[in-house]
Amino acid sequence: MNRIYFDNAATTALDPRVLEAMMPYLTEKFGNPSSIYSYGRESRLAIENARKSVAKILNAHPAEIFFTSGGTESSNTAIAAALHNLGCRHIISSPIEHHATSHTVEYYHRREGVALSWVKLLPDGHIDLEDLERLLAASKDRTLVSLMHANNEIGNLLDLHAVGNICKKYNAIFHSDTVQTVGHYPFDLRNTPVHFITGAGHKFHGPKGVGILYVNENVQIQPLLHGGAQERNMRAGTENLYGIVGFAKALELAMASHAEDAAYIRELKQYMADQLKEKVGHVEFNGDAFGRSLYTVLNVSFPKSEKSEMILFNMDINGICASGGSACTSGADLGSHVIREVNSNPNQVAVRFSFCRQNTKEEIDAVVEKLNGML
């Protein structure tokens, strides 16, 4: 059976050109980057060239880019640093953050007594910026604001500049989980009022297990992981050499074809929405699906029935890969905390379809046809 993969917000297929760039470092160029002999120097040079490439694409300074194991480690590092190094004793976040953020801030609230506030959402799932400013104005302590750039389940996009400028007004630290947008949108970090952002290679056809943390040069932080002096004393542990090379190559390729890919994928998203409305009917789209929204994600609610409650299982046995919410909790029958916040209708079942440049309208036609028999 040919599988149709519509879960690209969870992970993407490795681009063969990325694998090609990684292969020398998986085979003959295997030296430890901390070694002083030629094998090690060769590896060190590859990492620093990757750092320069990533920094140039994001318009950051190379010294502001740190390689990590992915978005979760990056967000954990940023949040811990804001609390332990930058004097923050109050966190403002949203109820629809990825668990890499929400579980982390809840941990520090419970274990260290850090104040925690949840900013209100507007009816379409966007952050209520007036409420954010009210919370900051009322805060007696220095505050960390942690809000994701694009929601991984419904796709809503945050205005980084608007939030960053509010944070600047109240001397707050701003961390944004940008895992769904690095590699999908152009960044200009030298002109963006943010202290920390994150990225993960596997979201844009790079390898799994490698990510970045951007740390603005105006903040000084301590490492989360201790040990060796890797990543300029900021992240102990032998570097994921081939992953780092792959991350940089994937980001380079993604941004080189960004405009063309984004237009194509946006067209796929709209086409699927139109086909669902025409051929299936009785569907609703969660979040601000066709406004300020991630072009790769379409979150759809179907009427709840005995058949539709099994929709993910039935799609799977029909060779269709999609998600009922965040892929990180798809194995547990807990439902989606994001959908609970933006669509409390108990008579609907939500499915997230997420697309990439490799998907086609023919795949959408096949999925829509099969869905008709599952509802």
Q: Residue 300's CB: how many other CB atoms inside 10 A?
A: 22
Give me the DSSP letters along 82-135. HHHTS---EEEE-TTS-HHHHHHHHHHHHHH--EEEE--B-TTS-B-HHHHHHH
Q: Measured between alpha carbons, how far is 287 from 271 in angstroms, rounded to an integer?
A: 18
For residue 152, what are its two tokens?
Answer: 């991984």
Looking at residue 144, its amino acid is L
Pair of tokens at residue 23: 């292969």
- The number of angstroms, rounded, from the C-alpha of 225 to the middle of its chain's C-alpha atoms is 22
CB 236 within 8 A of CB 228: yes
Determine whether 356 is an active site residue. no
CA distances from 86 to 67, 78, 249, 334 (A): 21, 10, 33, 35
Strand ranges (DSSP E) for the chain?
4-5, 65-68, 90-93, 115-118, 143-146, 173-176, 196-200, 211-215, 284-285, 297-303, 320-321, 348-354
Among the listed residues 88, 167, 328, 356, the single catalytic one is 328
* Residues classed as catalytic: 328
